[in-house]
Structure 1
Amino acid sequence: MTATPELPDFVPASNQGGDPAVYEVENAALDREGTLWAALQEAAPWVGRTLLDLGAGTGFWLPRYADAAEVIAVEPDTRLLDAARARPGDARVRRGSAERIPLAEASVDVVHARFAYFFPHPRWDVRPGLEEVARVLRPDGALVVIDNDTERGEFAELLVRSDAAADQGQDTYARRWWADVGAETREVMSSWTFDTRADLEAVLRLELPADLAEEWLAAHPEATSLTYGYLLHVWRPRG
């Protein structure tokens, strides 16, 4: 699938866009320990502040920001906007993208980007999105990018073997890129923990090539969870 003319940086996701119901199951399995959530709160607290969920998808995480003063969701995929608007809470949901955020300058304190847009890679430049985030952040604001760790955890072992994930780039490149723009990278170890074996199977088949998913499932016939590492890239505009 290709970018849309009005939002040229937007390429529809094959997972959430392809099967929102299974992606909902995947979201519910992420970080049940709360390790990632605690790291996010420590990296850039949002209590009493304005938070932007950039690339919010169906808005699964929006209710968890209830202690923010204001929550804004920006999502480019029109198929997902109604679901985001239906979430509990008072989040404002707008259509837009990383390169085209429909907000005023210096209007938000914290930006979260979860598995969206900010995959630094030698073949493309994500700096336009970074510049747009800098435009909407207040002087003491922060961007926190939640990314996959491709070096630690059971999911990382699958991710690096997946052709479908190759365009995300390797951590070594991403870490250097974020360091070069002045970000701090934090490692967080958590898990995918599913209620049922069927849920785990459905999510692996959504996220991985069929042969790789079936190979792992056959080798782990009783599993209902995987260890899952994250990288948090915390960036604050200079000057």
Structure 2
Amino acid sequence: MTLSDFVPAANQGADPELYEVENRALDPEGTLWHQLQNTAPWKGKTLLDLGCGSGYWLPKYRSARRVIGVEPDESLLPMARRRPGEAEVLHGSAEHLPLGDNTVDVVHARFAYFFPSRSFDPTPGLREVQRVLSPGGKLVVIDNDGLNGEFAELLQASASAQAQGHDDYSTRWWSSQGASTTAVMSSWRFSSREDLEAVLGLEFGRDAEAWLSAHPHSLGLSYGYLLHTWTNPQQV
């Protein structure tokens, strides 16, 4: 499948190994993970990890009946397919899902595609997700909270991040689609200062320098998430 509109991610696409470090630092308390399980349980169901990247999260869905990862970056597919478990990993994108109609119960989109902004409308991907979701199935979009937490401070200081609409725009857009939004405050925790600095450099470049200087002994930061949950309204 040729995805003519695909643009590699500037973080995971640029440095998959460093992005592994970032993933390991995410949500050490399990607060986000607990909320995801409560918001749209996947035990015994078919779950689609949309934009699964290198597949870091795929083994964690082991209670699902079937796990499918879809990723547009072909360079990341081999890593995803080597993960433990029996997830099926396919090449595709939000607008081009290689799945049949009404075949999925839960879709997770973790920092992938569904970041609406004044310059980007994710409606085509939402319509495609609706096609593959079963009636009453749920799409859960894991987004950044651009207003609360220390990570939000970094977003607010980054011109490139602000251009993506990290204020309340995404919440208002999802509300207009009939979705509900839940705020979750968690954190990042790294095993070394070197890892923290490297990951913030990957995500923010030189825009991270002021925050790092102001927090010289930190090994982590508070990190707010927004879970936008959209339920497929179509009927059998």
TM over 0.5: yes
Instruction: Give yes or no for contact 1:44–1:144 (8 Å, CA) kept in 2.
Output: yes
Given candidates 139, 163, 172, the residue that maps to 2:159 is: 163
1:35–1:188 contact (8 Å) kept in structure 2: yes
Q: How does 1:41-80 map to 2 (within 5 A)?
A: 41-80=37-76
Query: SS of the residue aligned with 1:209?
Result: helix
The percentage of counterpart residues that share the same residue type is 62
The runs of 4+ residues in structure 1 deviating greater than 2 Å are: none
User: How far 1:217 sits from its partner (Å)?
Assistant: 1.5
1:171–1:8 CA distance, 2 compared to 1 (3 A) = farther
Unaligned runs of 5+ in 1: none
Superposed CA deviations along residues 36-78 of structure 1, whole A, max 9, x for unmatched, are 0001001100000000000000000001000100000000001
Aligned-partner residue type, residue 84 of structure 2: P
Aligned alpha-carbon RMSD (Å)? 1.1
Report the CA distance between 1:214 and its aligned residue: 1.9
For 2:183 and 2:204, how far apart are their aligned partners in 1? 23
- Quick one: which of 207, 231, 234 aligns to 1:236? 231
Which TM-score applies when normalising by structure 2? Answer: 0.96
2:97 is equivalent to residue 101 of structure 1: yes
Q: 1:232 to 1:35 in 2, by over 3 A?
A: same
Map Cα deviations across residues 181-212 of structure 1 (whole Å, 9 max, x no partner): 000000000000001111101101100131x2
Residue 222 of structure 1 aligns with which residue? Answer: 217
Distance 1:98 1:9, change over 3 A: farther
Equivalent residue letter for 1:230: Y
Task: Work out the CA distance in 2 between the residues paired with 1:219 and 1:167.
Answer: 24
Question: What's the CA shift string for 1:111-169, capped at 9, x where partnerless?
Answer: 00000100111212210000000000001210000000000000001111112212321
1:52 and 1:145 map into 2 onto residues whose CA distance is 12
Q: In structure 2, do the counterparts of structure 1 residues 65 and 105 end up closer, same or farther at CA, with 3 Å as the change threshold?
A: same
The amino acid that maps onto 1:215 is A
Give the conservation status (yes or no) of the 8 Å contact 1:162–1:209: no
8 Å contact kept, 2:134–2:232: no
Amino acid at match of 1:191: S
Structure 2: segments with no counterpart, 5+ residues: none
Task: Report deviation, 1:9.
Answer: 4.2
Rounded Cα–Cα distance in structure 2 between residues aligned with 1:9 and 1:25? 28
Distance (Å, rounded) in 1 between the aligned partners of 2:3 and 2:63:
31
Match of residue 17, structure 1, among 10, 13, 17: 13
> Contact conserved, 2:155 with 2:166, CA < 8 A, in 1?
no
